[in-house]
Structures are given as structure tokens and as C-alpha cells.
């Protein structure tokens, strides 16, 4: 796990001994299960460390330290499980439809002895009744759907002031422009766009933080915008 630790430091992310032990256990289990069922298309451990674990952690420095987090379309746990390992105080729900991946998630959560994690089998567009009734402070979605669709599905479950974390590729600028109307519809503002590239990868990626404005702030912003021709 020294490789993950050194890479993470480049992005302002510190990992302690307990966290690194959990990541090692996670990697070993992911590798073993992936030989039997298709959890990820990556076929070597180094790629898993960089393209799954490290990539999931990139937004960590910009996230609240406490609150409720929902990871939508969690798959084998990305980015929700790495973010939970990094910040164990986040009460976390992992939403995933595939039964085999749900089994893996429940297994790895037990094995790592992570507390405050629920694994929910379902889809965001159908299983709203199973989610927290008061909404979430953080919602994450990685490789779920095009950005406008992701926003449309996830924004209704955000608390006012909550943030939606998206993971975009080289077309991040175009994706954001194409999503302006849906941002406005759901009361979201782009708070941060964080471009980065992963070790050994040339293509640029972006993690984006979208904040759901509190109603009073949104009204005041619209009043300011209306006062300028």
C-alpha cells in the first residue's frame, strides 16, 4: 500500500496505518472475487490501485468530514467505500442493483469492520423509499450515466446545502455546459471543478462539486442577476 499512500499525498490526501490496512484487505478481496465474477474490467492490481482506489479518493479533501453520504451505482464500492475508509465518520449508504456486487459489498464491509454503512440493492430512480428520508449531505456517482441524467436522478435526494460529486473525463467542460439547464432546474451551482490526471495516464479527468443552494440564497442570487441587464 506504499504506492497508494505516496500517490495520494500528491493530491493532498493523507492515509494512516489503519486505512492502508483496510485498503490492502479491500484490494486482496477485490482481486480474488474478480477472478470468479466480473466486478471490474481491470486485470492487474496496480491498475486497480490507481484507477479505482486513488481515483475515488481525489475529491476527499473537498468533502465534509461528517454527515450522510449516498454512493449511487456503487458497483464494487467506488467511490463510496474508499471515501468511507478515508473518512469513517460519514454515515454511508451504498446503492447497487447487481446482486453479485451487492454480495461483495456486504462481504467487504463486514471484513473491514466498517461501521455506519448500509448496502441497499436497488436503483436511484426506483428505490427512493429505501433511502434516508431527510436526504444526504453528500451524493457520489461515478460512471453512472451522462451528467444531466445523473443530476436528475440524484439531486432530489440532496439536502439543501448538500453536494453532488461527479467524475468526468476529458469532455468535462462540454458536459458542464450541456448540463446548465438541469443544474438550474434542481437548484445546483458548480462549486468546484478539479482537473487532474492519474499516474501513468495522459488523459485529463475532473472531479466536480455541485452544491444545492439553500432556498434563500437561490432567491437572492436570482434577484441580483435580474438587477443587471
Q: DSSP for 65-116?
A: SSEEEEEET-TTTTTHHHHHHH-TTEEEEEEE--HHHHHHHHHHHHHHT--S
CB 120 within 8 A of CB 131: yes
What is the structure's pLDDT at 217? 52
* C-alpha to C-alpha distance for 122 and 140, rounded to whole angstroms: 16
What is the structure's pLDDT at 215? 63
- Number of residues written out for the chain: 229
State pLDDT tens for residues 92-129.
999 999 999 999 999 999 999 999 999 999 999 887 78
Global pTM reads 0.92
Could you tell me the end-to-end alpha-carbon distance of the chain, in angstroms, rounded to an integer? 56
2-10 vs 17-34: helix axis angle to the nearest 10? Answer: 110
**Ramachandran category for residue 67: left, alpha or beta (phi over 0 → left; psi -120 to 50 → alpha):** left
For residue 104, give the C-alpha cell. Answer: 461483495
Label residues 83-102 b or e (16+ Cβ within 10 Å = b). bbbbbeebbbbbbbbbeebb
17-34 vs 99-112: helix axis angle to the nearest 10? Answer: 150
Domain ranges within the chain, ordered by starting residue: 2-226
State pLDDT tens for residues 30-64.
999 999 999 999 989 999 999 999 999 999 999 99
Q: Mean of the per-residue pLDDT values for the chain?
A: 92
CATH 1.10.150.20 fits 2-226, yes or no: no
3-state secondary structure of 211: strand
Give 79's pLDDT tier (boundaries 50, 70, 90). very high
3-state secondary structure of 151: helix
Nearest 5 degrees, angle CA 143-CA 192-CA 126? 40
Q: Is beta strand 117-121 parallel, antiparallel or unpaired with respect to 90-96?
A: parallel
User: Which residues on neighbouring strands pair with residue 140, listed in sequence order?
Assistant: 71, 165
Give 143's pLDDT tier (boundaries 50, 70, 90). confident
* C-alpha to C-alpha distance for 61 and 71, rounded to whole angstroms: 17
Amino acid at each position: 500500500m506504499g504506492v497508494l499512500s505516496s500517490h495520494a499525498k500528491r493530491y493532498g490526501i493523507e492515509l494512516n496505518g489503519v486505512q492502508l490496512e483496510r485498503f490492502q484487505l479491500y484490494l486482496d478481496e477485490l482481486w480474488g472475487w474478480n477472478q470468479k465474477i466480473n466486478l471490474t474490467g481491470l486485470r492487474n492490481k496496480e491498475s486497480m490501485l490507481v484507477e479505482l482506489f486513488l481515483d475515488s479518493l481525489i475529491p476527499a479533501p473537498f468533502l465534509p468530514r461528517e454527515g450522510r453520504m449516498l454512493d449511487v451505482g456503487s458497483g464494487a464500492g467506488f467511490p463510496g467505500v474508499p471515501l468511507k475508509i478515508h473518512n469513517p465518520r460519514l454515515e454511508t449508504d451504498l446503492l447497487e442493483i447487481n446482486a453479485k456486487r451487492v454480495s461483495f459489498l456486504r462481504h467487504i464491509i463486514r471484513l473491514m469492520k466498517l461501521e455506519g454503512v448500509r448496502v441497499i440493492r436497488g436503483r436511484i430512480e426506483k428505490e427512493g423509499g429505501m433511502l434516508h428520508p431527510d436526504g444526504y449531505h453528500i451524493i457520489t456517482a461515478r460512471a453512472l450515466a451522462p451528467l444531466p441524467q445523473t443530476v436528475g436522478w440524484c439531486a432530489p435526494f440532496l439536502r439543501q446545502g448538500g453536494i453532488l460529486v461527479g467524475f468526468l473525463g476529458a469532455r468535462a467542460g462540454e458536459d458542464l455546459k450541456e448540463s446548465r439547464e438541469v443544474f438550474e432546474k434542481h437548484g445546483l451551482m458548480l462549486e468546484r471543478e478539479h482537473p487532474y490526471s492519474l499516474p501513468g495516464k495522459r488523459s485529463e479527468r475532473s472531479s466536480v462539486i455541485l452544491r444545492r443552494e439553500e432556498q434563500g440564497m437561490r432567491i437572492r442570487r436570482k434577484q441580483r442577476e435580474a438587477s443587471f441587464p
